[in-house]
Amino acid sequence: MNGTDGTGVTDRLTALVERVRRDPGAVGWLFPAVGRRVGRGPGPSGDPEGVLGPTFQDGARAAVVAALRDTVGAERFAEEVEALYRFGDAEEKRAVLRSLPLLGRGGDAGRLAAGLIADALRGNDPRLIAAALGTPAAAALDDHAWRHGVLKCLFSDVPLAAVHGLAERADAELGRMAAGYAAEREAAGREVPADVRRLIALSPHPADSPGTDDGTGTGASAPPTTGQEA
């Protein structure tokens, strides 16, 4: 069922939100039930997989998370959000990642966000990789982890359009890594994806590579196994 096409969607979602406000402990079973109760479908991006942006059910689950935030204290809220992620299936994890800005920034909230994002980047699910870097919450990652997350997008065929704030955060080191990746692909006789060229162009003072000017370039780092490598 596509929640955007059905009738009574707003009423059903409102009922879920009000239930969480009355009984915050119910979120553990209401959150997984959102798709069945409210509906599923693509969000504003038009992508039903939720790579290019949140799906309809992601948005509905974010409303449930927001209701929880407004009802319980910060410590319990963080605990509940972590549990929703840890015990959720891939669709639920994606919704939690999309909802991470509700935690706020800095302190324990920032550390929790960074930990959940790092966990998503350790896997190979494009939906989770995109969601991990697709909101302002990715600012919780340090530069090293964030760069490797962006490279993970390239390795996992996640469009860079999914990465929040890419143009603002791309730096010379990320450009060097992208140039090295381009060099490796060209040396192997493989095409350099347009997103790799875009990343090199976005980065200030990028290193030259076969994908840009003179055929030089340094080696790219291997895909990370964790979003928080030292």
Neighbours of 123 (CB within 10 A): 15
What pLDDT is attached to residue 9? Answer: 87
pLDDT digits (tens, 9 = 90+) for 102-152: 999 889 999 999 999 999 999 999 999 999 999 999 999 999 999 999 999
Half-sphere exposure of 35 (CA within 13 A, CB side): 14
- What is the rounded radius of gyration, in angstroms, for the C-alpha atoms of the chain? 19
Convert 97-118 to b/e letters by CB count within 10 Å (16 or more is b): bbbbbbbbeeeebbebbbebbb
Structure tokens at 186: 């060209």
pLDDT digits (tens, 9 = 90+) for 54-111: 999 999 999 999 999 999 999 999 999 999 999 999 999 999 999 999 999 889 999 9
- Which of 228, 171, 158, 157 lies closest to 199, judged by CA? 171
What pLDDT is attached to residue 216? Answer: 35
Which pTM does this prediction carry? 0.85
